[in-house]
Chains A and B, each alone.
Chain A
Amino acid sequence: MPTDRILDVSELWAGYGATPILQGVSMSVSRGEIVGVIGRNGVGKSTLMRCLIGLLQTWRGTITFMGQDVTQLEADARARAGFGYIPQGRDVFPQMSVEENLQVGELIGGPDGKKLPDLVYEYFPRLRERRRQVAGTMSGGEQQQLAIGRALIGNPSLMILDEPSEGVQPSIVQHICEALKSFRNELGTTIIFVEQNLDTILAIAQRCYIMEKGTITRSLAGDDVNEDNVRAQLLL
């Protein structure tokens, strides 16, 4: 197990209005790990991802990123510090071209960070073919590749993906899984993802956190990340 921590979440509370969704989430991720957050619908997985990137305010608890307390930083400052967020539903900018969508992603990692436009097109040749196409007219799978490319282009230290396989055809899901693993192997990118799809989880996760009712109840590592254990945590 690598011991170099990149992200530490401690006793995180957050929610919408007066309703708490996250009720004391604690987790930690080491540099270069691929970690899944799994659990049934409505336990707060997406809320946790929104909280990590900073789109949802934290009520209590702390988020430490590469040794720096980022709990009070807004989302844009976290992105410039190296968070690459790929939201559920992808949220590409629908009236802008593929190229322009990628340009926005170059803000990630700040102005001094390394930018990887060529690598994005290498991993996702489809995006090169369609670089002048308006993003809103592309298929779900293409938009997902664009959303991932848009984060990758800024060479983030930590990628946060919310259901990357949702609404994407299986052949493209497989391609995305391969790409995510190469980001880790070749760029050292740490990846946290939320997922419901068993095959995706088994294909990429080294460890899994299991979430129930707003807290992390268990974690799986090594050989325990297997079909039976994971299936038991998903509503199938």
Chain B
Amino acid sequence: MSAELFSLFYQFADVFAFLILSAAGLAIVFGMMGVINMAHGEFIMCGAYVTVGLVNLGVPLVIAQILAALTAGLIGVAVEFLIVRRFYKRPLDSLLATWGLSLIVTQSMLLIVGSAVRGIGTPEGSFAIGGYTFSSYRLVLFGCAVAVLAGLYIVFMKTRFGVIARATMQNAAMAKALGARTGRIYAISFGIGTGLAGLCGALYAPTMTLIPTMGATFVVESFVTVVIGGANVLLGTAPAAVFLAVIRMTLNASYGQIIGQIGMLFAVILIIRVLPEGLSSVLVRRGR
């Protein structure tokens, strides 16, 4: 019995980790700046390619993953400075600009690197409970997702930077009039967002085939999670991921992957119909 329960938890954890890791970066950029980063998937791809490239050069996997997340973060800061910064008052234009970036990057990667890169394989390691065998790496991913949420909580709720960043999010002009360097805060926040996207790619790189369009694998899930979560990462994205993971796990277990995916998207449509501003609109109001 406990083996079955653990198996359910394991499947939930797998989907939850995927949703959180792929959505956290997108949610931060959207929540902080109102920018919908259409190049989110390409930052994920960047994290994956850097990881695999470094591992093929002989760098240990964990270090390669950390370096990949940092790389994506730094590129994000540069992209904010060169492109996104010009569009803060024009949300639709920022959407177009980042989409353009996404197309350029994907196609350039196809031209330069080619369509496939030698993968590195999922780290070995599994354990058995009852009659079931589980991959340890999937649990590592779940641990990372929880750690990302905890890290975001600490950075945004417990640090000075977090207080100033939230003030900027709520009223940028007033924060500026009190001395906040809002431009720098936006650049750092964008970098945190793309760094998390890079981390997502880095963590999933060992589990999948690397192709320049791989970002697309994550983008649907990350967008639906952010859309039903609303603008608040901690009070929106996290509960949204729990909700979607439970639905998907239940349907996966009974009817298979395809029905799981369809059911999850169907649930998303229902939620948007009932709560157009996302789950966080309800939770934030409660919290007051």
Chain A residues proximal to chain B, CB less than 8 Å: 53-55, 74-76, 79-80, 85, 87, 91, 93-96, 100-101, 103-105, 107-110, 134, 136-137, 150-151, 154
Please, what's the 1-or-0 string for B163-187, where 1 marks a CB less than 8 Å from any CB in chain A?
Answer: 1101100110111111111100000
Is the beta-carbon distance between B175 and A74 smaller than 8 angstroms? Answer: no
Which one of A54, A74, A93 lies within 8 Å of B167 (CB-CB)? A93
Q: Which residues of B contact A54 (CB under 8 A)?
A: 177
**B179 engages A76 (CB within 8 Å):** yes
B178 touches A150 (CB 8 A): yes
For the complex of A and B, the 5 pairs showing the least CB-CB separation, nearest first, are: A107-B179, A79-B179, A91-B174, A104-B167, A80-B179
Q: A93-B167, A96-B167, A100-B163 are in contact. Are A107 and B180 (CB under 8 A)?
A: yes
Shortest distance between the CB of B244 and any CB in chain A (Å): 25
The distance in angstroms between the C-alpha atoms of A104 and B181, with both chains bound, is 11
Name B175's contact: one of A53, A104, A109, A154 (CB within 8 Å).
A104
10 examples of A-B residue contacts, CB within 8 angstroms: A76-B177, A79-B178, A85-B177, A95-B170, A96-B166, A104-B164, A104-B178, A104-B180, A137-B288, A151-B178
- Give the chain B neighbours of A150 by CB distance below 8 A: 178
Which residues of A sit under 8 angstroms from B175, Cβ to Cβ?
Answer: 93, 104
B178 close to A55 (CB less than 8 A): no
CB-CB nearest in chain B for A109: B179
Give A64 Cβ to nearest chain B Cβ, in Å. 19
Interface centre among A55, A75, A100, A105 (most CB of B within 10 A): A75
> In the complex, what residues of A have CB within 8 A of residue B174's CB?
87, 91, 93
Interchain CB contact under 8 A, B179 and A154: yes
| Residues 258-288 of chain B, each 1 if its beta carbon lies under 8 Å from chain A, else 0 | 0000000000000000000000000010011
B164 x A93 contact (CB < 8 A): no
Expressed in whole angstroms, the minimum distance between the Cβ of B155 and any Cβ of chain A is: 14
In whole angstroms, what is the CA distance A134 to B163 when docked? 13
Given A91-B171, A94-B170, A136-B288, A79:B177 Cβ within 8 A: yes
Bound complex: CA A112 to CA B171 (Å): 25
Q: How far is the CA of A110 from the CA of B180 in the complex (A)?
A: 10
Q: Within 8 Å CB of A95, what residues of B?
A: 166, 170, 284, 288
User: Quick one: closest B residue to A81, CB to CB?
Assistant: B179
Residue from the list A74, A94, A107, A137 in contact with B178, Cβ < 8 A: A107
Q: Given the complex, which residues of A lie within 8 Å of B177, measured CB to CB?
A: 53-55, 75-76, 79, 85, 87
Taking CB atoms, residues of chain A closer than 8 Å to B166 are: 93, 95-96, 100
Give Cα A109 to B179, complex, Å: 8
Residues of A near B173 (CB, < 8 A) are: 55, 75
Give the docked Cα–Cα distance between A170 and B177 (Å): 28
B118: Cβ under 8 A from any A Cβ: no
Contacts of A107 in B (CB 8 A): 164, 178-180
Q: A79-B179, A93-B167, A104-B167 are in contact. List 17 more A-B contacts (CB 8 A).
A: A53-B177, A55-B173, A75-B177, A76-B176, A76-B182, A79-B176, A79-B178, A80-B179, A91-B174, A93-B166, A93-B171, A93-B175, A103-B163, A104-B164, A104-B178, A107-B164, A109-B179
